[in-house]
Structure formats: C-alpha cells, structure tokens
Amino acid sequence: MQSGSQSASSVVRECLARIERDNPKINALTQVFAREALSRAAEIDDAIVRGVPVGPLAGVPIAVKENICTTLGQTTCASRMLANYASPFDATVVERLHAAGAIIIAKANMDEFAMGSSTEHSLFGPTRNPHDLLRVPGGSSGGSAAAVASGLVPVALGSDTGGSIRQPASHCGVVGLKPTYGRVSRWGLVAYASSLDQIGPLARTVEDAALVTRVIAGHDPRDSTSSHALASDLAITPFDGPWSVCVPREGRGEGLSPGVAAAMDEAIARCRAAGATIIDVDLPHAGHAIAAYYLIATAEASSNLARFDGIRYGHRASANGDGPPITDLDMLYRLSRSQGLGREVQKRIMLGTYALSSGYYDAYYQTALKVRRLIKQDYDRALAAGRTAAGGAASGHAVVLMPASPGPAFAIGSKTSDPLAMYLEDVFTVGVNLAGLPAITVPIDTERAGTAALPIGVQIIAGALDERTMLRAADRIASPCPTAAR
C-alpha cells in the first residue's frame, strides 16, 4: 500500500467481501465496521498520495477480540451481561494500532469472558474451525484465530490467560504470540485473571506477529504492571551466538495424538538443522500446573467479575417479565448475575469464591501460589541449562519447545459435558502464564481426520522479555499457514 501497488480502500473492500461470503459459515466475527473502515482507508490513501508519513500498519485491516475495549460498536465479552456495553474509550493496544495506521474492521468471537478452550461458550454462538466446520477453532480467542486462518483479516488481536492465543493458533494453523506478562498494556482489556492476562496478535507469519507486537508493546502509565522494556528489540534477526532448544520430557509422554507427536519430532529436526543444540530437560512441577492455574485464575475471576452485578455494571434483572418479582437487593443481585452470566462463567466464579473463602484460602489459593513459584523456577532452570549447553550464560541463547495442545481440533460439543477433558486442552500452555514468560505457537504439520487435514502447531517459550530469541527460533521452524477450505 505504501508503494502504491494497492490502496487501503481496495484491501478493505476485499476483506469486507470475504467477510460477507465466509463469516456466516464460520461465525468468527461478531461486529463488522464496514462504513468506518472504508472511511479510515480513504484517509490513509489520501495521506499516502500527499506524501504524508503513515505508520507501519497503514491500511492493514485488523479484528479485535470482544474483550478489548473499542469506541466502535460494543465490548460485550461475548456475554449477555455486557451485551449492550459501549466503551467510552479505546484500549491502549487499540490506540497504538490506530497510531500505526491500522484499520479496526471487526470484533472477534470468543468464549464468554475468555473462560473456555473452544469458543463454544459465547453469546453469539460457537465459532467453527475453517479447516473443518464440524470442529472447534480452540479458545478463548477462537474467533480471532479462525478469522486469520480463513483470510477474513490478515491479523487479529487476542488475549491469553492460560493458552487462549496459542491453543487456537495451533488448531487453526496460524501464528499466535503471547508476550511476556507486562510487555503489552492490559489497560482496556476486560480482566479475567489480572496476574495472568496478556494481549497478543494472531497472524499468518512470524514476521507479521512480530511487527504487530512491536506496535502494541511498550510501557503504559495507566497499567501498573506494564514493563518499561523497549519494544524496539522485537525484531527477527540472525542468532548472534549458539542456541539451544530445551525439550521437556513432560511434553513427549503419553496423551499426545500421533500428529502432535510427529509435529514435535519434525520441529526438533528443523531446530537441529538450523544449528541448535537439542537437550532434554525436566519440568518437575508441570503436572501440577492445571490445578494451580484453575485455583489462581478462578480466584482472580471471582474478584474481577464481582463488579458485574446489575447495579454498577451489566445486565440488570427486571421486575417485569416472566421471572419472579424482585423483593430485595439480594434477589436483584442473584437474578441479574444468574441471567447475565453463562454456566461456565458461573462455575468458575463459584470455584474461585470457594478457594478464597475462610478456612480454604491457605489450603487452596496460597498453596497454588507456592506451586506457581515452583513452576517458574522449573522454566528458569531449564532455560539456564539450555544457555549453558549453547555456550555459556553470557553468549548462549535458549528456548523451550512444547506441544501447544495434546491433539488437533476436536468436534464441536464433544467436550462440553466433560470439564476435565476441556481443561486438559491447556495442559501445555497454562504453565507459561503462571511463569509470566513469552511464548509463540507456529504451524508445523497437519493430522488427517476423515477428509480434513487438521493443523498442528508447537509452541516456543523463552525467558522473560526475551521475545527476540523466541522470534528467531520460531522464524526458523515455522511452516507456511495451511490454506483453510472455504
């Protein structure tokens, strides 16, 4: 577009045509801002013609997950509780996309309040995997992943609390990047679990994901957890020293589908061919990550979602209609939250409230925090061993290679009645959030399921604020994104 070979307006019109044709089948996008996007594109085209400097994302259409605040449309979190909420401000990431010239063209479907691994728990109905419409796209950023995989948009923003960018990226065959906790501002992200949430991009190439991350990263004084680390180092460059890949034994055991096991083997072979030293490591506390995560995340959700009570925010039960008459404040709270929040969200709030209650706080929540520290130490030790194997702590570079999910995308409805099976979808991703580390999922291969070729990705994990090493490794092993059948 900056060279003049394409206009922003023509790109937006192409996206809108694909959305009109394909989104009804996939249900990836919930709100489309056609008029506003075309108006913004015309402004960018005019600036390019006049020689006015434009940003690095000038004219690029981007979809934004439903839990990221935008002044365009509503910010619903895919919940009846916020069905009519219009944000009076843009999230920091949206402000930075605008400043870089990007065009917010749509909002993307998600699991309600980001609580899910399949994008089936949504006010707008389930999103379908564009590679097989009978299967899930993963979650909770399934709408963002499916939109990129099907070509509705070139880039989308998601949020990742326990794998919600990386797992759907694997299921849909795209690149999904979760930055270090604090690398990207959370201001304007509707909180699920504040110590775990992080915003990141889904894209078709590692290079595009890196570019978008450079745009949205950087310190924000409105977010007290925001890092002061510079975003300028988020570039893909050749390794300036030896590097190693740490392969946890816990990621190669039983429970992997044949396709995921083969993808891990292929990824290891590609790393070795690119000059990496491969070492086996242990993450001794990895088996406790799911339990720790679902205590910490639900406890924080119980606190964060307390504001959605029908008085301060959100759906308010009415005395009119088919329900019982509202006789007191307690009944108003109960009815408003029962009507406004879905079953999965209610369940997690109740779990978190129980874990924080008198007599159980120490036994559950405090113990989970201690396990969280042990998991962080496991990753630190593994990466330190990798740097040593690669030539010493001062010069070596190291990453951890893990599956992104135990298997490919599963059938819609096949796990909704089995919460444990659904939670185990994130068995390889939640530890990264507990440790606050950066990770990226890249496509590697596909696994046949009937007539469909289902994408398989692996995730690459690096030390805190070491996205540069992670991006270098990812760029060397990623396969092109598979084309989704329309």
- Residues with active-site annotation: 65, 140, 164
| Cβ atoms 343, 115 nearer than 8 A | no
CA separation for the pair 299, 302 (Å, rounded): 5
| Amino acid, single-letter form, for residue 319 | A
Residue 307 class from Cβ within 10 Å (0-12 exposed, 13-18 middle, 19+ buried)?
exposed
Residue 352, token pair as written in the block = 């978190």
Which of 383, 405, 411, 366 is CA-nearest to residue 473?
383
CA separation for the pair 342, 292 (Å, rounded): 23
Q: What are the angstrom distances between the C-alpha of 2 and each of 51, 196, 329, 386? A: 10, 37, 58, 42
CA separation for the pair 261, 259 (Å, rounded): 5
Q: What are the angstrom distances between the C-alpha of 12 and each of 34, 96, 233? A: 8, 19, 30
**Eight-class DSSP state of 189:** B
Q: Where are the beta strands (DSSP E) in 298-438?
A: 397-403
Residue 256, token pair as written in the block = 């992997």
CA separation for the pair 391, 344 (Å, rounded): 48
Q: Are strands 243-248 and 397-403 parallel, antiparallel or unpaired?
A: parallel
